[in-house]
Structure 1
Amino acid sequence: MPYPAFLTRLRSDRSGSILTFTGIGFVTLIGAAGLAVDTAQWYLWKRQLQQAVDAGARAGALSMLQSEGAEPGARKEIGRNADNTLNVLVERISSPPYSGAFTGDTGAVEVIATTSQKLPFSSVFLDVAPTIRARAVATRTDEGEYCVIALAPVGMGVRAVGTADVNLGCGVGANSGIQAAIDLTGTSWINAPNFHAVGGIDASSRNIPEDAVLQPYGLPIQDPLAGRELEAPSEPEGCTYNKYSNNPKDVQTLTPGRYCNGLTLKGVTTLSPGTYIIDGGLLDVASSATVIGDGVTFVLTGSGTGNAASVKITGGATMDLTAPSAAQSPTWKNVLFFQDQIGSSSESNFAGGSELDLTGVIYMPNGDVRFTGNSGQSAECLLLIANHVTFAGTSSLNNNCTVDYANLDLSAPVVKVVE
């Protein structure tokens, strides 16, 4: 019969064997390539899902800080950040987290989400599509130490213009929400480790160090002295002096009291320890003045809103001032200048070739401060807290904080993913 003979010949025939093995190998290669494509897609989905839960956890933690529930904000950000092709299932949004290192943190938010979709090649081998899972925990952390803080919610909070040269041992913060909350222009330079703003930060590499940490669009920095509820003293009620002014050739010692309608210093003046209330007008330090004081506080106040006294330091004035210690004055500890909450329509100006050795806090929560000209300041520790702060001209501010201000929270709040 012909069929057995044909089969015998076919069995012994070696022609075409390579093509057979090539076909088998090609199928294997296509399968491996397809599985690799699916694996890459799973990896991409994992990254996209992780990005979405990270954003959701941050949004939830921010909502908690604003006394709102975590879930609405978290779900909104998960949806906004997840790829439209992802079938995202939110498994859990919880505060505090159910697991991890932050289970005891009531401000922390945990987000867990999953996605599962079939892909062409892997579905040949897998009956059920794999589940991709992502988890994130976000909470508030306090970072940095800030010694220049602009509290105003609007306007340019901190500005440096011209050839300003500012060297700080700590950070610069602004609570303004505008695009240029911190604005550094021209060849101005601020040497600080941290810059934090509620709005944007407008600066280039020629204005700040390369390794400076920038945190735009962050949370407001809390007023570190707000809890002390400082107020202008009511005593002495009457004026100790009215429009007091000395002469360039005078050598005098002044005592604490209420200086109505300004205090003008032109000569050599030693300030006895205590509180100097400037009730209206200016604390005006002329170019010829030398002012020395240890344990002193200037309180700038006035008769109504916007009428608090302000500071004007000009020319070649020399000032060597130190704020009180806790032993000298528990109320005014560390405060060198305080402007009443009523604020002032006039800037306080430290300018014009002044030699300033200031140790303490300049605290003007509703007033503006400007350093201009050749204002050279060397301080053990100067903290500047004002409504707006401007550095201009060729001002040079050097700060070396060694005084213990551990009782003040000078950090900035940051919501970040911690797990």
Structure 2
Amino acid sequence: MRSLALVLARAAYEAVRSRMAGFAGDRSGSVAVFTALALPVLIGVTGLGVEISYWYLTERSMQNAADSAAIAAATNGTMNYGAEAKAAAAKYGFVDGENDVSVVASNNATCPSGAANCYSATVTGYVPLFLSQVVGYKGTAIDSSGTPQTKLSATAVARLNPMPREYCVLALGDSGIAIGADGAPRASMSGCNIMSNAGARCNGHNLGADYGDAADENDGCGAVQRSNVARLADPYVGLKPNIPSTDPCGGKYPQKGTFDYPAANKWKDTIVLTGGVTHVCGDLTVTFDVTIRTPPEGAVIVIWNGQLYTGRWPQARTFATESGSAVTVVFAGANGSYTHTPTGDGTLDITAPSTGPWKGMAIYQDPNLTSGVDIPAAGQAPTWNITGMVYLPHADVTLSGAVNKSSTGQSCFGLVIENLAVTGTGSILAHGACDEAGLDLPTGSASTGRGALVR
């Protein structure tokens, strides 16, 4: 960009050159007279050199302020980008609206190479004229008192360097409000980003999530809220082929409370799984606290047309993995009158495998299941202490308590549902170690990161 100070210097130079040319062409006076007449010009030239240096330094300061303002606007990336730009420029002494300074930001600046989402910032100010007036330079503006001034400005353009955004909560519902909270004054999802493939609405509390994104309107969810974000495809539907293709149950799925409910479906104490797949036909009931022991690579439990029931208070039980063990619980079968979820008031304290085809997956609901999949309460009763992903793609889930990591696992939790309602103390406390846990969280295209100058 051509320096405005140099443009102004050239204008002043032309004024000096014209005056000196007049002197050079006038041979009628004496040397003394010439010197006397030339003295103001010489003083003006000296002053002009000082002023040009002053203009240049001022313009460089303006450019630094504009650079910082454009980067701040791009980094912010929300409707508050203008305020961020002005705050950044103010740190360099250029306060919008003071001393004839203006700071103007735009979110539709032209990007080089056809890139999108560029932000510009222009800092404009005025400097008074000093000795340059002696040589006839009148400046480019006049202030309210009639004093000549020179206008200086600097412009910068920046864009956000995109970084993939990971979500610990993804609601796949594509209409209405897929993530909602009404009240929930103690809800906390700090360190967690949430994404709705439809709208999001949080009344009275933003859930404490770091970023809240929504494909439609985001009304109050997340510390930083964004609307009109591109929808995410189901990130785990591709794991469905890992479910055994053959149902081994022969059409028999015993339900708890029936006269023919088998003892094999009532688990207690330590259950040793040798790896691979363990099939359960019908409901699986935890009659006393259960500890699952597996090889280090973990094991898979497939529950066909049944629920994982942990009992009701005061007989609520715990279903847990032992230290060094891991398990994926898969709900499979057919739509109908069956329940395909964890139920009861007990505690799920499980760690997902960190390697293998089910890595990072703690609970997986067959994406073909659309009935018997909802969970009316989770986090409090039942209690979820889970390391890994809970995948319930067609479920409506109400999160009413704190979800923490398993007793023996990494601090990592993810939730994919159709619709989520958060009430009371709904919280996700397990985050930050999903790489170690082997879980690849859902990743969106919404930009995060830091702005960078492009012009």
The TM-score by the shorter chain falls in which range? Answer: 0.5 to 0.7
For residues 153-189 of structure 1, give each alpha carbon's deviation from its aligned partner in whole angstroms, at most 9, with x where no partner exists.
Answer: 1132212234364333433333333xxx222235x56
Distance 2:392 2:173 in 1: 11
Shift of 1:322: 0.2
Runs of 4 or more, structure 1, over 4 Å off, are 107-112, 134-140, 244-250, 306-309, 415-418
Distance 2:307 2:191 in 1: 30
Pair 216,395 (structure 1): closer, same or farther in 2 beyond 3 Å: same
- 1:126 aligned partner: none
* Number of equivalent positions: 296
Shift of 1:400: 3.1
Preserved contact between residue 108 and residue 140 of structure 1 (Cα < 8 Å): no
Distance 1:161 1:266 in 2: 36
Distance 1:395 1:242 in 2: 34
Equivalent of 2:207, from 168, 181, 190? 190
For residues 63-88 of structure 1, give each alpha carbon's deviation from its aligned partner in whole angstroms, at most 9, with x where no partner exists.
Answer: xxxxxxxxxxxxxxxxxxxxxxxxxx
Equivalent of 1:377, from 404, 416, 435? 404
- 2:307 aligned partner: 282
Preserved contact between residue 171 and residue 193 of structure 1 (Cα < 8 Å): yes
Distance 1:276 1:111 in 2: 52
Equivalent of 2:362, from 314, 326, 336? 336
- 1:230 aligned partner: 240
Distance 1:254 1:239 in 2: 21
Paired residue type of 2:178: G
Q: How does 1:315-330 map to 2 (within 5 A)?
A: 315=345, 317-326=346-355, 330=356
Distance 1:249 1:338 in 2: 20
- 1:367 aligned partner: 395
Pair 156,110 (structure 1): closer, same or farther in 2 beyond 3 Å: closer
1:201 paired to 2:218:
yes
Distance 2:402 2:160 in 1: 41
Equivalent of 1:261, from 260, 270, 282? 282
Distance 1:308 1:216 in 2: 37
Distance 1:412 1:318 in 2: 31
- Aligned with 1:310: secondary structure? coil
For residues 182-224 of structure 1, give each alpha carbon's deviation from its aligned partner in whole angstroms, at most 9, with x where no partner exists.
Answer: 22235x5622211111111222xxx76xxx2211222224544
- 1:412 aligned partner: 444
Preserved contact between residue 184 and residue 207 of structure 2 (Cα < 8 Å): no
- 1:313 aligned partner: 343
Distance 1:171 1:361 in 2: 14
Distance 2:349 2:331 in 1: 19
Pair 266,190 (structure 1): closer, same or farther in 2 beyond 3 Å: farther
Preserved contact between residue 144 and residue 411 of structure 1 (Cα < 8 Å): yes
- Aligned with 1:199: secondary structure? coil
For residues 119-166 of structure 1, give each alpha carbon's deviation from its aligned partner in whole angstroms, at most 9, with x where no partner exists.
Answer: xxx9xxxxxxxxxxx997868823543211112211322122343643
Equivalent of 1:216, from 213, 216, 227? 227
Pair 172,314 (structure 1): closer, same or farther in 2 beyond 3 Å: farther
Preserved contact between residue 195 and residue 213 of structure 1 (Cα < 8 Å): yes
Q: Give the structure-2-normalised TM-score.
A: 0.53
For residues 301-324 of structure 1, give each alpha carbon's deviation from its aligned partner in whole angstroms, at most 9, with x where no partner exists.
Answer: 2224x7785324333x12210001
Shift of 1:357: 1.6
Shift of 1:336: 0.3
Preserved contact between residue 214 and residue 229 of structure 2 (Cα < 8 Å): yes
1:347 paired to 2:378:
no
For residues 5-63 of structure 1, give each alpha carbon's deviation from its aligned partner in whole angstroms, at most 9, with x where no partner exists.
Answer: xxxxxxxxxxxxxxxxxxxxxxxxxxxxxxxxxxxxxxxxxxxxxx9xx9xxx9xxxxx
Preserved contact between residue 191 and residue 209 of structure 2 (Cα < 8 Å): yes
Identity %: 20
Shift of 1:352: 4.6
Distance 1:395 1:270 in 2: 27
Preserved contact between residue 253 and residue 305 of structure 2 (Cα < 8 Å): no
Unmatched 5+ residue regions in structure 2?
Answer: 1-69, 78-109, 121-139, 141-154, 257-262
Equivalent of 1:389, from 396, 420, 425? 420
